[in-house]
Chains A and B, each alone.
Chain A
Amino acid sequence: EAQVTQNPRYLITVTGKKLTVTCSQNMNHEYMSWYRQDPGLGLRQIYYSMNVEVTDKGDVPEGYKVSRKEKRNFPLILESPSPNQTSLYFCASSLDSGGYNEQFFGPGTRLTVL
């Protein structure tokens, strides 16, 4: 089944403890992206990647890192999480960055930073 997967789905952690949220897609998509969803703010883009080894900042990149070593994976790294990063995170992918390509979303990761 063509899909985007994320792990973990739920995570509770403490301030300053490094964590990684994985994202993987099996559709051979070039474009991948991370969003965070907060009440009253909708979804905002954190980072995106046009292809392997090509990443760039979105609207809210502070406190996050990403890597794109392989086409299928796009992990989100929080080196030193803080409570304001408590949010619902979505990974998305699309065939490429052009045209009206549909973005497919993962199931979401709910992160709580205490």
Chain B
Amino acid sequence: AQRVTQPEKLLSVFKGAPVELKCNYSYSGSPELFWYVQYSRQRLQLLLRHISRESIKGFTADLNKGETSFHLKKPFAQEEDSAMYYCALRGATNKLIFGTGTLLAVQP
């Protein structure tokens, strides 16, 4: 079965602290993974995709096929990072299979 699991509904950290948003997936083929972010009152937008191996707004995510994980990390959280984060797996027919999301709250 194709599935994305985000075990934390809420992650609260202080400004400047490291952040790790967990994502595990289940997929039989070679996975295509994404992180989407939804800031308050804004639409869902792509943050990064694993194929690009890029860093966006200080966030990185490494695909670990052995652990079937794609955790999102940032060494120093900023208040403007507070948002809902969704991990997504691209399934057949270009469908995005989303996790349930993690709300990141960065405290001042």
Tally inter-chain residue pairs, CB-CB below 8 A: 54
Tell me whether B100 is interfacial, beta carbon within 8 Å: yes
**A33-B95, A41-B100 known; A105+B45 contact, CB < 8 A:** yes
Q: Which residues of B contact A44 (CB under 8 A)?
A: 98
Tell me whether A94 is interfacial, beta carbon within 8 Å: yes
Q: Which residue of chain A has its CB nearest to the CB of B42?
A: A107
Q: How far is the CA of A76 from the CA of B42 in the complex (A)?
A: 21
Per a CB cutoff under 8 Å, which of A59, A94, A101, A108 touches B43?
Answer: A108
Q: Which residues of B contact A73 (CB under 8 A)?
A: none
* Chain B interface main SS type: mixed
Tell me whether A43 is interfacial, beta carbon within 8 Å: yes
CB pair A100 B44 closer than 8 Å: no
Q: Which residue of chain A has its CB nearest to the CB of B87?
A: A42
Q: Mark A39-68, 1 if CB is under 8 A from B, else 0.
A: 011111100101000001011000000000
CB within 8 Å of B: which A93-114 residues: 94, 97-98, 100-103, 105-108
Tell me whether B86 is interfacial, beta carbon within 8 Å: yes
**A105-B43, A106-B43 known; A43+B94 contact, CB < 8 A:** no
Per a CB cutoff under 8 Å, which of B32, B49, B94 touches A94?
Answer: B94
CB within 8 Å of B: which A12-27 residues: none
Per a CB cutoff under 8 Å, which of B45, B49, B93 touches A100?
Answer: B49
**A42-B86, A42-B101, A43-B86 known; A90+B96 contact, CB < 8 A:** no
**A102-B46, A105-B45, A108-B43 known; A97+B100 contact, CB < 8 A:** no
Q: How far is the CA of A102 from the CA of B52 in the complex (A)?
A: 12
Q: How far is the CA of A31 from the CA of B90 in the complex (A)?
A: 14
Besides A59-B95, A106-B43, 6 other A-B contacts (C-beta < 8 A):
A35-B98, A48-B93, A48-B94, A90-B43, A90-B44, A103-B46
Q: Show the binding face of A for B, using Cβ within 8 Å.
A: 4, 31, 33, 35, 40-45, 48, 50, 56, 58-59, 90, 92, 94, 97-98, 100-103, 105-108
